[in-house]
Amino acid sequence: MRLWERLSGIIFRLLTRPYLKTFEEMSPEKILRRSLKLLDHATIQSLKDYIRSSQTASGGFEDKAGRPDLYYTLFGYLLAYALDLNELLPAIANYTENEIVRDDLDNVHLHCAAILSSQLHRDPVLHKILKKRIRQSLLSQLNRQHSYNYFISLLACYYMRDFKGLFFIKKYLSSLKVNDDLPSPVIASMLVLQHSFNKPVNDLEKRLLSFHCKSGGFKATQAAPITDMLSTAVSLYALGFAGSDIRRIKPDSLNYIDSLYIDGGFSGNEFDQEADIEYTFYGLLALGSLAG
């Protein structure tokens, strides 16, 4: 590594590290582990069985069609890590490496691959290539990215320890616009981003809480007819991340999450009768956000 690259890395690390303390304390895997405090032994064993059954022969985790997919594999990895299913990790690592070699990953799958690789591989050349591709993706979209994409970029840069990428996100944070049409997952992402970089969050907290319903769940939009697990999980995570007082909504939210538990996993909403690995991740993320 050239001297100027090393110095640049040190400078950006110093600029961004003070803002990441909360994120390190509230990382998704730590919140998932917290959820286990609210579950009995039998439920934890059922969850483990379900997670094992969702891994395909390729090592990746299956989507709703039963095919292995990097997006679902990221959720599967985080669940396996949180529940100490270490025997699943080597196959996940092999699947991730094979997918990266294909080199035709879209933006979302590229970010998933980068996060998985940062946790499962020790190849510095691979890390450098992925870090460069993530940063190129970030820089090419900064002026038009949805705030949810900023959050995915934040996750990728955090796990890859790309401090320069984190600085770019911080720099462009002021370009994010808040309006009444934004769905709750986007408001939640903005809340996490704003709090990560010590920006004001009171208005975002109020906006996010406005999506909460008597059922205990959160709706994706104000006009949505029902609540859903994804919106509930990311909203509770963001509110907990920002240190919001959510004691008032905790009992109803716990009941809502429990109502979507099916056969060792979680479903997406009251009309969804099948669990999948993505919503199981969100179910435990929601529980963990309430367990603090």
**How many CA atoms lie within 13 Å of 242's alpha carbon, on the beta-carbon side?**
29
Sign of CA pseudo-dihedral 263, 267, 32, 75: positive
Domain that holds residue 250: 6-21+180-292
What tens digit of pLDDT does each residue of 82-104 get?
999 999 999 999 999 999 887 67
| Domain-embedded: residue 124 | no
Residue with more model confidence, 77 or 149: 77
Q: In the predicted model, what is the mean pLDDT of the chain? A: 86
85 backbone dihedrals φ, ψ, rounded to 5°: -90, 65
If pLDDT is split at 50, 70 and 90, which confidence band does 196 have? confident
Q: CA 92, 280, 154: angle at the middle one, nearest 5?
A: 65
Residue with more model confidence, 271 or 15: 271
Q: What total number of domains does the chain contain?
A: 1
Say if residue 199's pLDDT is above 50.
yes
The helix or strand, by DSSP H or E, that contains position 68, with its residue range, turns out to be: strand 68-69
| Domain-embedded: residue 66 | no
Say if residue 67's pLDDT is above 90.
yes
| Domain-embedded: residue 246 | yes
The helix or strand, by DSSP H or E, that contains position 279, with its residue range, turns out to be: helix 277-290
| Domain-embedded: residue 46 | no
What tens digit of pLDDT does each residue of 130-185 get?
888 888 877 776 666 566 676 788 788 888 888 777 777 777 666 666 776 788 98
DSSP state of 69: E
Q: Which of 42-51, 187-196, 208-217, 220-229 has the lowest mean pLDDT?
A: 187-196
If pLDDT is split at 50, 70 and 90, which confidence band does 7 have? very low
The C-alpha atoms of residue 84 and residue 82 are separated, in whole angstroms, by 6
| Domain-embedded: residue 215 | yes
Highest mean pLDDT among 21-25, 167-171, 249-253: 249-253
| Domain-embedded: residue 76 | no
**How many CA atoms lie within 13 Å of 166's alpha carbon, on the beta-carbon side?**
26
Say if residue 11's pLDDT is above 70.
no
| Domain-embedded: residue 148 | no
Say if residue 237's pLDDT is above 90.
yes
Q: CA 139, 144, 149: angle at the middle one, nearest 5?
A: 75
Predicted TM-score (pTM) of the model is: 0.89
